[in-house]
Structure 1
Amino acid sequence: MENIFRAKLSFIAIVVVAGSILMSSYQCFADEAFDLDAYKKKVKQWQDLKYGLFVCWGPASIGGKGIGWVRNAPRSGNPNPWYPPKENLIDGEVYDNLYKQFNPVDFDADQWMTIAKKAGVKYFMFLTKHHDGFMMWDTKTSDYDIMSTPYGKDICKEIADAAHKHGIKLGWYYSPPDWYDLDCRHPKRHGVYIKRMQEQLRELMTNYGKISMLWTDTDGGNAPWDQDNTFAMIRKLQPGIMVNNRMEYNRIPGWAYGGWYLACQNRLNGKPTRWKDFGDYDASSEGHVGGYNSLPHESVMTMLGHQWVWKPKADLYSGTEGANFLASSLLGNGNFLYNVGPMPSGKINDHHVERLLKTGKWLDKVGEAVYDTTCGPILRGIWGGSTTKGKNVYIFMPDTIVNAWDSDDLYPLTPLDKKLVSITSLTGEKVSAEQNSDGVIEIKMPETTKKREDGQAGYMIMKLTFDEANPQVKEGTTLSQDSMVKQSKIRPGASIAFAGTASMTPGQGWGNYAHHAVDGNAATIAQSTSPVWDLHIDLQKNYSIDKIKILPTPGVWANEYSIKVSTDKENWTTVDTITNANDKPRIIEFDKIDVRYVWMDVTGVGHKGNFGHGIIEFEIYMAK
């Protein structure tokens, strides 16, 4: 394999010789006092955007199997032993030469930005270089770039010009690890690579106008990226830029992101930090949109299911699933970055566009509850979640909760310290409410939610307006919103799983906790670190049930299991045994039976690899 970084040795020699001069001017910047107020201001501006579009695209799109990780060749300096299944690999020599075929004649950056605006996204993230080392801009550091393709034009410039024209905030994805560059992590030549890497970042920060975000990445190896000086250069060239934390992965070898969380919390509290400089927000939650994180963070998902670049016949997430991901990220105090993979020709596939635009139409109706809001005042739970802006609080209540609620029973909302003036539904339902002397708001619920169209999230969204701004949970409140909801009267025929608690054996990890299986949120999953694991649900009291619906995670599912029920956790009745199941939703119906405990006893999975099977929702229906 020819490594064409050697084609510009004269330039690289200049960079190496001048490297200490190039970086010395930034060293003082790294030592300057940190401006906490300026940091909080730029974080708030970024958080107000809420929704970004990620585009992973390049020569790897021609292969149709993935980017970087599917390259079947040695990985420069990376000890990570994981490779995809053999059928998904591309020979390294073939992969490294795909750029010679890359000629995206249908690429139109202006059209991409028009789609992005109609989709309701506020920022645009573009992949400039992945671990495979190919650069999508006109770099002076190597010939392994877009200028060496048949297309021969600087795609990053076209994207930057279009983003600025349309008023969309622009970010670059750039991976410091480089499996193509033989100097990367080389025991003797890594210093040469660092100067080259920093020069590439200087180009990206200098040649394309305002850059609002930098999305760095990790390949799982150690991170010798001269972070203090690298961050200093980036911040000097692009003041106010938001940089994620993935350059911190294994900055302390073997500690993953642990060092960043502690450093970020200390910074926000005005305490000394471990490093002179580091990432501004957490982007480590790839594939996870559940939970809550008080630190600035972003959830990242791809519309293509488990792949980031173009894949023919990919199993795409629906428009509604994309909207659910966005809503769930929002309610967890995070931004949401959603990836599409354009075709090798440069066109974003019509099916991708259709899904984006459907969610855009939903955002046209409910956007006031999304953009420029703050998470809270009532934190998320199985009951749903809330956002606030000025005098308004927006309640996101899952359709599963609304449709399970007995409409004769008033819905109690955690006491707030301001006076309620009005309540409306942004999603079309008829609601009313009164506030008692304790501040508790009792909501008259609709008989049922409006039918959701594709692209609309599965939430009823209510707008509560108060007499003063910034309503907060009343001091002294001890009963959580989830506790109040679980005491409710549930209508016959509805799913009652949310009223229970869930656990898994063995173990759990990755933030995909057991309770995600019963939270009524189709954007979250329950998944263990163990390939085969059991789900246990305690409904807290006996219910008469006659149906269970299981929504497995596409691509990672249990294919052999039994559903067992009990009233005492000692004597179990098997209501069904499933073999050769697929990853599609499954409804299990049986004669009415009284239960408190439900056990999904799993004995086999239908996927390969060491990933645990996943459950999006496990719904338990009360008999009519």
Structure 2
Amino acid sequence: MTQPAFAVPDKWKWFTEARYGMFIHWGPYARYARGEQVLFREHLNQADYAAQACAWNPEHFDPELWAATAKKAGFKYACFTTRHHDGFCMWDSAYTDYSSAKQAAGRDFVREYVEAFRKAGLRVGLYYSWIDWRLPAYYEGPEKDPEGWARTKAYLHNQVKELLTNYGQIDHFFFDGVWPRNADDLGSIELVEEMRRLQPNILINNRLGYSEQVDGYRADGGIGAGDSDTLGDFGTPEHTIEADRKRLWESCQTTTWRLWSHVSGERWRSADHLLDILVECTEKGGAHGGNLLLNVGPMADGQLPPEFVERALEIGRWLEVHGEAIYGTDGGALTEFITRGRQTTKGDHLYLIIRFWDGRPQLRLTDLASEVKEVTLLTTGQRLDFTQQGEELLIDGLPQEAPTRLFPVIRITCEGAPTTNQWGSERLWEGDPQRVADWARKQRGSSVYADGEER
């Protein structure tokens, strides 16, 4: 079900219209091909890892090819990892020499990414990790090491301000990795104020830590640790799709089964599975966003994995035909439709995104209260015959074979915005249970016997 609408500032409406972003996890960890957190999870030798990172020189990195692929795949924005938990910086930072610009590669990857994606007409986002596994002071904190912590905090703030000063307009900023610090340790509230001064239109996520003054401090220790209940402009459910009732939101998901950076031998999710995630985000979205930030982990040499490109472009071809059912929609799930697929709405249109094509010539849709003007099989452009009797709509003339390998879409045009009845707004396990009792009593009686008659 969609949430009640809230007023989205004009400067952020691009986010609710975009629906689909590309997350890019890339850094020297790609050389290990065992995940972006290999340094910590395998307790590697820090000095050896740093030597490998400094020697990393991805000769096939072509940001314009990345941007062209993203655009063709239907992405509307992207978010690039400027620095992950290993502490290696992907730009020319004035505050450290542990960076792609000052080591073997000799390149400012952030600048190249920003310029290429902006040139392609895509919105630009940056990811930045609070934590740095190299720095003991981050984990000892202000109580155990006040001087070390002060230097670390200044380093973090200076780098964020540097990223928002030297690379033009940044639309989207994704913090990560708060634990074990909180918002008060990090000074994240003050930093956000400075970020807004530097970039008035920026969207900032909710991984800012809990504050005793704002949220009441707690450490959840799980996925999304450090998410704030109130701080930040958009929520970031990870590996899951949960609508955020307080603000905009985007679900961040992998194209593989689990890991974010390039991994040799990782299993890949299928194109229809990934498309279904996008559609579910859109269906649950509406005014609160409901975006998918879909990840790719480029290979160590800078090339996008062919498995990703294949799936992304297949979804892109689907979006070329069916994009109006995704981009700029107002959410969906207007009626109970889980037995066939998902729904989105926009203006006077209700879109039926059909996950399960059964080959029958007729589709029955219940609980649509609006008068229907026209029904179109959007996949082919074919006008379909229909009969409307009260709140039951029968759509005829559907082909036996699914008209696309992915999800066919039917567009229903109504007299005004589509509306539903009580059964559409209250679903299984929801609403007033009396309606279920009335339905059963009216149609069959009230006893346990087959005919419903009392004995």
Q: Same fold (TM over 0.5)?
A: yes
- For residues 449 and 482 of structure 1, the distance between their equivalents in structure 2, rounded to whole angstroms, comes to 30
Confirm or deny: 8 A CA contact 1:298 1:335 kept in the other structure. Answer: yes
- Specify the alignment match of 2:449 in structure 1: none
Structure 1 vs Structure 2 CA RMSD:
2.9
Secondary structure in 1 matching 2:358: helix
Question: Which residue of structure 1 lines up, in the alignment, with residue 308 of structure 2?
Answer: 352
Query: What is the match of residue 413 of structure 1?
Result: 366
For the residues of structure 2 that align with 1:204 and 1:131, how far apart are their CA atoms? 17
C-alpha deviation, 1:240, in angstroms: 1.6
**Structure 1 position 314 matched with structure 2 position 275:** no
Q: Which position in structure 1 is the counterpart of 2:377?
A: 425
Query: Contact 1:137/1:147 (CA < 8 Å) preserved in 2?
Result: yes
Structure ranking higher on relative contact order (CA contacts 8 Å, 6+ apart): 2
Give CA deviations for 1:565-591 in whole Å, capped at 9, x if unaligned. Answer: xxxxxxxxxxxxxxxxxxxxxxxxxxx
- Deviation of 1:352 after TM superposition, in Å, equals 1.9
| 1:374 to partner: Cα distance | 1.0
Relative to structure 1, the CA distance from residue 138 to residue 422 in structure 2 (aligned partners, 3 Å threshold; closer, same or farther) is: same
Q: Which residue of 2 aligns with 1:472?
A: 419
Equivalent pair of 1:141/1:196 in contact (CA under 8 Å):
yes
Q: 2: distance between equivalents of 1:130 and 1:364?
A: 34
3-state SS of the aligned residue for 1:90?
coil
Query: Hey, what's the Cα distance between the residues in 2 that align with 1:121 and 1:345?
Result: 23
Q: Residues 248 and 94 (structure 1 numbering): CA distance in 2 closer, same or farther, change over 3 Å?
A: same
1:115 deviates by 0.5
Structure 1 residues 397 and 355: CA distance shift in structure 2, 3 A:
closer
Q: Could you tell me which amino acid in structure 2 is paired with residue 210 of structure 1?
A: Q
Residue 314 (structure 1) shift: 2.2
Match of 1:71 among 32, 39, 48: 39
Relative to the length of structure 1, the TM-score reads: 0.60
Query: Which residue number corresponds to residue 343 of structure 2?
Result: 386
Q: Quote the Cα distance in structure 2 between the aligned partners of 1:135 and 1:391.
A: 48
Q: 1:241 corresponds to which residue?
A: 202
Between Structure 1 and Structure 2, how many residues are aligned?
405
Alpha carbons 1:413, 1:481 under 8 Å: kept = no
Cα distance in 2 for partners of 1:150, 1:222 equals 33
Structure-1 residue corresponding to 2:164: 205
SS of 1:146's equivalent in the other structure is coil
SS at match of 1:374: coil
From the superposition, tell whether residues 145 and 378 of structure 1 become closer, same or farther in structure 2 (CA, over 3 Å): same
Q: Is the 8 A contact 1:56 1:339 kept in 2?
A: yes
Gaps of 5+ in 1: 1-35, 73-83, 264-277, 484-624
Q: Deviations over 1:319-371 (max 9, x none)?
A: 22222221122122110011111111111122221221111111111011111
What's the offset of the Cα at 1:66?
Answer: 1.4
Deviation, structure 1 residue 479 = 5.4
| Higher strand fraction (1 or 2) | 1
Match of 1:397 in 2: 354
Measure how far apart 1:199 and its partner are. Answer: 0.8
Q: State the Cα deviation string for residues 404-462 of structure 1 (Å, max 9, x = none).
A: 9x766x51332333x211111223488532223x4443334747450643xx3xx3321
Contact preservation (8 Å) 2:137, 2:152: yes
Q: Distance between the aligned counterparts of 1:193 and 1:379, measured in 2? A: 52
Q: Structure 2 vs 1, CA of residues 482 and 445 (structure 1 numbering), >3 Å: closer, same or farther?
A: farther
3-state SS, counterpart of residue 171 of structure 1: strand
Structure 1 residue corresponding to 2:275, chosen from 294, 307, 323: 323
Q: Cα deviation per residue 1:173-195 (whole Å; 9 max; x = unaligned)?
A: 01112222333235313222222
**Counterparts of residues 118-197 of structure 1 (less than 5 Å):** 118-184=72-138, 185-187=141-143, 188=146, 189-197=148-156
For 1:143 and 1:166, locate their aligned partners in 2 and report how far apart those are by CA, in whole Å.
30
User: Cα 1:380–1:41, aligned 2, differ >3 Å: closer, same or farther?
Assistant: farther
Corresponding residue for residue 233 of structure 2: 280
> Are the aligned partners of 1:377 and 1:473 in contact in 2 as well (CA < 8 Å)?
no
Give the Cα separation in 2 of the matches to 1:116 and 1:228. Answer: 33
* Structure 2 letter corresponding to 1:128: T
Q: Write the mapping of 1:220-619 to structure 2, written as runs, cut at 5 A.
A: 220-223=179-182, 224-248=185-209, 252-254=216-218, 256=220, 263=230, 278-283=231-236, 285-289=237-241, 292-294=243-245, 295-333=247-285, 334-376=290-332, 378=334, 382-383=338-339, 384-399=341-356, 402-403=357-358, 411-417=364-370, 419-428=371-380, 431-436=384-389, 438-444=390-396, 446=398, 448=400, 450=402, 452-453=404-405, 456=406, 459-468=407-416, 470-474=417-421, 477-478=422-423
Do the aligned residues in 1 keep the contact of 2:20 with 2:291 (CA within 8 Å)? Answer: yes
Shift of 1:377: 6.1
Over residues 236-262 of structure 1, what are the superposed CA-to-partner deviations in whole Å (9 max), with x where a residue is unaligned? 111121111122368743254899775
- Distance across 2 between alignment mates of 1:355 and 1:479: 34
Q: 1:479 to 1:170 in 2, by over 3 A?
A: closer
Q: Return the offset for 1:234.
A: 1.0
Q: Deviation of residue 155 (structure 1)? A: 0.7
Q: What is the TM-score with the length of structure 2 in the denominator?
A: 0.81
